Amino acid sequence: MEDAYARSVSEVLEFFAVDPSKGLSDFQVAEHARLYGKNVLPQEQSTPFWKLVLKQFDDLLVKILIAAAIVSFLLALANGETGLSAFLEPSVILMILAANAAVGVITETNAEKALEELRAYQADVATVLRNGCFSILPATDLVPGDIVEVSVGCKIPADMRMIEMLSDQLRVDQAILTGESCSVEKELAITSVTNAVYQDKTNILFSGTVVVAGRARAVVVGVGSNTAMGSIRDSMMKTEDEVTPLKKKLDEFGTFLAKVIAGICVLVWVVNIGHFRDPAHGGFLQGAIHYFKIAVALAVAAIPEGLPAVVTTCLALGTKRMARLNAVVRSLPSVETLGCTTVICSDKTGTLTTNMMSVSKICVLDSVSHSPLAAEYNVSGTTYAPEGFIFDSTGVQLEIPAQFHCLLHIAMCSALCNESVIQYNPEKRGYEKIGESTEVALRVLAEKIGLPGFDSMPSALNMLSKHERASYCNHYWEDQFKKVSVLEFSCERKMMSVLCSRKQIDIMFSKGAPESILPKCTSVLCNDDGLTIPLTSNIRAELESKFHSFAGKETLRCLALALKRMPTGQQALSLDDENDLTFIGLVGMLDPPREEVKNAIVSCMTAGIRVIVVTGDNKITAESLCRKIGAFDHLDDFVGLSYTASEFEELSAMQKTLALQRMTLFTRVEPSHKRILVEALQHQNEVVAMTGDGVNDAPALKKADIGIAMGSGTAVAKSAADMVLADDNFATIVAAVAEGRAIYNNTKQFIRYMISSNIGEVVCIFVAALLGIPDTLVPVQLLWVNLVTDGLPATAIGFNKQDSDVMKAKPRKVNEAFVTGWLFFRYLVIGVYVGIATVAGFVWWFVYSDNGPKLPYTELMKFDSCTTRETNYPCSVFSDRHPSTVAMTVLVVVEMFNALNNLSENQSLFVIPPWSNLWLVGSIVLTMLLHVLILYVQPLSVLFSVTPLTWTEWTVVFYLSFPVIIIDEILKFFSRNSSGMRLNYRFRRVDLLPKREVRDK
């Protein structure tokens, strides 16, 4: 029954044909179970482990690597290779892929836990009326029409319509559904609101919420999937994980790479068709196979085998840095996604605010001799910690607040007319509450006011342990006064009273809504001299004016406090006693904004990131908060910028599109609205970060490009999110965005480094094949260069320091390519030089080296016919390991210099020197040590087909390698100046690396 909230009690009972005094019969239970199903959330089949594993290999770049591994292995066997040499290359490639697959499987397994943890919020048992008798049954046995009784502490077992109140009031904590910290008062009356949201349905008890006060009976109207919890579960099921921008770019890069590799392999093979019949090959077919092997070697050179591992490593490093910022990353790719976030949809309660109700203002009657009559005090401190001060209207701090009569009596009333508890939790190193937020705020206020009669107040309190300090002043007043009788709060009276006795003096303290307390007051306590005077119409008017100012303009939640001298020996309170009260004061409280949020909002604006505050709270309160945090200082009003969920739904499609482009505040929302907001923003090509903490937020967190859960939130929200804020702080999100941008910049740098290095390897093999000289490098040497000499510096580039202006740039567009035209041209130039320098080292040994044969260059080009003609040198010289060792060493050293080029995209090494990233310097040193190791240690040198080099050969290697620094410095100079910009414009239209075709934002 979907509209039970809009039906009367009798209509609902009639719909289910149930007698509220007897409940359902056994026959009706069976019939309703058949019609409506069981009260369980359906078990969703988890993805089989083998499918999760296979899914990790469903990537073009990974498939290319697997194909390369298989072909390398088959060619090794075709050449008669056995043992380690045959398996080395394919084994290393497959080991890398297996490691990446393991990370992916773990991530996806964690994501599926969100649905399982949703079940933890379902009640286990329920007190049910059936066949005229109450019994405790498993909650799973409930059916629509069952009459259920609930009381304090009960978890609601299904969605139910209230039918009978068994206490003065019933309050329910709906935080897991609405995100709002205050409990909701339930009633029997029909809800007549159009497009009612959860907060409006005050006659419905929602599955999974908890009763915090009162006792009542209700009829079940929804079970299983047809509950509020069930709709959240269904929404999560429909939500598909969004592909991150980095994943999209890597997929595009893989597609591009596949085309390039295929083109190069075919080109090399075609270019050498004329050499197929060379006598050295022993026939046309054998020649075709020989050049196919060269083409495959080229493919191996083109594939950055270490790319997946380096990307994973760089993102992992980012997660460690974020953990230090209190941002715990659950999904590695989301680290980078933060860098291109354009919109942050932030929850209000607990993220922008402390989620700790605290008193911020006090109003008392100063004295009738003063003008104005009323005095205002400001209260500092925004948490449950007993830390804060009282300031007068001029901003002067009160040394001993308890010396002021009204403040002293406010402290007494706050401590005694109260049923909450504050305690210090040593594990969390913070103060925690038990009870209603408003009552806890009064407890904290009593601690800030302190105690009278001590000259050393309040410094004496600071000498107590934190556990003792939590409620020291409250306990003092509770010890001084004995509670005799209590009149509980009721929704009709909107007030609470407690009768206390001290030294034969009986006093009744009352607190409640100002509109309820003030009319019952006939006198007022003066703060200045402690006299009690009649409450005249002028004084009443001024106090009411202050109340309206607090509640209206400042949107504070107000409570009025009063007292009454009672006859000695009275043992009980009646409603008649709550008259002729003496007004003590008015307190205004709020869930205060976090102090650091204002600067964080400014940082977002500077960085081009829009913040949309999303809350279940009412519009006026939320708008007031937004003004307090300074998020919207630049706005005169909220017209066209602030919408309630129902207002937004009433807009036309075009109006919604325009509203989304300007929206800054979205109020009175429920789970479906959050998800709709995320989807609508994504359709406008925004990269959306969504924060949340409740079960209700899980679908939106899962749908967003990056879901951010609060550390204090529910397990469901954390499981559905990509990142968890340990400190629940919005400012942490901004710090994480800056880190995400820095990670993306570093990711671009190492991918560009690997591209330029791999272009060098391709050019090396291609030029060698084109010139008809022997193979410059063997596949195992290429693998060594790709994995070790590429991998270590590429990983270290991830440690490049964050640019100082990283949060001054606008968010990058989702369709921005890793390497645009001008950049690709730059790295093509570098890559061509790397390749030519490598071939030059190879040729130098044959033609010029004192240790070489000093052959004429034409002889080197005829190497394949050496055995068929007479020569004055042995043909075995072409099998010497020196030339390929020189070429391989040139390739390694030139790539180390190229790594230094990537400390910055455009800044010179004179501006950002190598020692700015000591990790990179260390990786270069380690790489060179490993390379020297394979040259000079016997088993390794045989495995990699290399040999020790002489000092002269090392000198030539350095001369051939160092110019790469000079070339890149020239290219960086052009990039920093207008000529580079013009080239960039020229290349912009046809990027050599693909882009995602989406609308430019």
- Confidence grade of residue 911 (pLDDT, cut at 50, 70, 90): confident
pLDDT tens digits, 331-346: 666 776 777 889 999 8
Q: Give the 3-state secondary structure of residue 597.
A: helix
Q: Does residue 754 contact residue 790 with C-beta atoms inside 8 Å? A: yes
pLDDT tens digits, 457-489: 566 777 788 888 889 899 999 999 999 999 888
How confident is the model over 499-523, as a mean pLDDT?
A: 93
Give the CA-trace dihedral at 478, 480, 486, 487, to 10 degrees: -100
Query: What is the reported pLDDT for 308?
Result: 65
- Confidence grade of residue 987 (pLDDT, cut at 50, 70, 90): very low
pLDDT higher than threshold 50 for residue 146: yes
- Confidence grade of residue 996 (pLDDT, cut at 50, 70, 90): very low
Separation CA 335–CA 345 (nearest Å): 17
Identify the residue with better confidence: 732 or 984.
732
* Residue 90 neighbours by CB distance under 10 Å: 20
Query: What is the reported pLDDT for 653?
Result: 86
Q: What is the secondary structure of 670-692 as a DSSP string?
A: -HHHHHHHHHHHHHTT--EEEEE
How confident is the model over 245-254, as a mean pLDDT?
A: 67
Tokens standing for residue 365: 């009657």
pLDDT tens digits, 12-38: 999 999 998 899 999 999 999 888 888
* Residue 851 neighbours by CB distance under 10 Å: 13
Tell me which residue of 306, 669, 367 sits closest to 527, measured CA to CA: 367
Query: What is the reported pLDDT for 254?
Result: 67
Amino acid identity of residue 342, one-letter, is T
Separation CA 684–CA 778 (nearest Å): 50
pLDDT higher than threshold 90 for residue 809: no
- Give the mean pLDDT of the chain: 80
pLDDT tens digits, 648-661: 888 888 888 888 88
- Range among 40-49, 150-159, 779-788, 872-881 rated most confident: 150-159
Which contiguous run of DSSP H or E holds residue 644?
strand 642-644
Query: What is the reported pLDDT for 982?
Result: 44
Query: What is the reported pLDDT for 42?
Result: 65
The whole-model pTM stands at 0.62
Q: What angle do CA 254, 249, 663 make, to 5 degrees?
A: 160
643-678: b (≥16 Cβ within 10 Å) or e: bbbbebeeeeeeebeebbeebbbbbbbbbbbbbbbb
Give the CA-trace dihedral at 74, 79, 84, 89, to 10 degrees: -50
Query: What is the reported pLDDT for 736?
Result: 82
Kindly report which listed range (237-251, 722-736, 888-902) carries the lowest average pLDDT score. Answer: 237-251
Identify the residue with better confidence: 44 or 267.
267
How many angstroms separate the first and last alpha carbons of the chain?
Answer: 44
pLDDT tens digits, 56-82: 666 666 676 677 667 767 766 665 555
Separation CA 331–CA 729 (nearest Å): 19
Catalytic residues: 347
pLDDT higher than threshold 60 for residue 239: no
Identify the residue with better confidence: 771 or 398.
398
Residue matched to tokens 């309206």: 548
pLDDT higher than threshold 90 for residue 585: yes
- Confidence grade of residue 172 (pLDDT, cut at 50, 70, 90): confident
* Percentage above 90 pLDDT, the chain: 20
Strands 210-213 and 147-151, sheet pairing? unpaired
Tell me which residue of 427, 351, 331 sits closest to 726, measured CA to CA: 351
Q: Does residue 744 contact residue 800 with C-beta atoms inside 8 Å? A: no
Q: What is the secondary structure of 40-69 as a DSSP string?
A: SPPPPPPPPHHHHHHHHT-SHHHHHHHHHH
How confident is the model over 248-266, as a mean pLDDT?
A: 72
* Residue 464 neighbours by CB distance under 10 Å: 12
Query: What is the reported pLDDT for 80?
Result: 58
As a whole number of angstroms, the longest Cα–Cα distance in the chain is: 131
pLDDT higher than threshold 60 for residue 230: yes
How confident is the model over 580-601, as a mean pLDDT?
A: 87
Which contiguous run of DSSP H or E holds residue 587?
strand 581-590
Which contiguous run of DSSP H or E holds residue 329?
strand 327-329
Helix H, strand E, coil C: the string for 128-189 is EEECCEEEEEEHHHCCCCCEEEEECCCECCCEEEEEEECCCCEEEECHHHHCCCCCEEECCC
pLDDT tens digits, 555-578: 788 999 999 999 988 888 888 999
Query: What is the reported pLDDT for 103?
Result: 56
Q: What is the DSSP letter of 631?
A: T
- Confidence grade of residue 993 (pLDDT, cut at 50, 70, 90): very low
Q: Does residue 109 contact residue 119 with C-beta atoms inside 8 Å? A: no
pLDDT tens digits, 183-200: 788 888 888 777 777 777
Cβ-proximal residues to 774 (8 Å cutoff; 6+ apart), any chain: 768, 860, 863, 878, 883
Separation CA 719–CA 730 (nearest Å): 19
Q: Residue 140, class by beta-carbon neighbours within 10 Å (0-12 exposed, 13-18 middle, 19+ buried)? A: middle
- Range among 175-179, 398-402, 714-718, 818-822 rated most confident: 398-402
Q: Give the 3-state secondary structure of residue 723.
A: strand
Query: What is the reported pLDDT for 113?
Result: 47
Tokens standing for residue 690: 């969504």
Query: What is the reported pLDDT for 379?
Result: 94
Identify the residue with better confidence: 955 or 902.
955
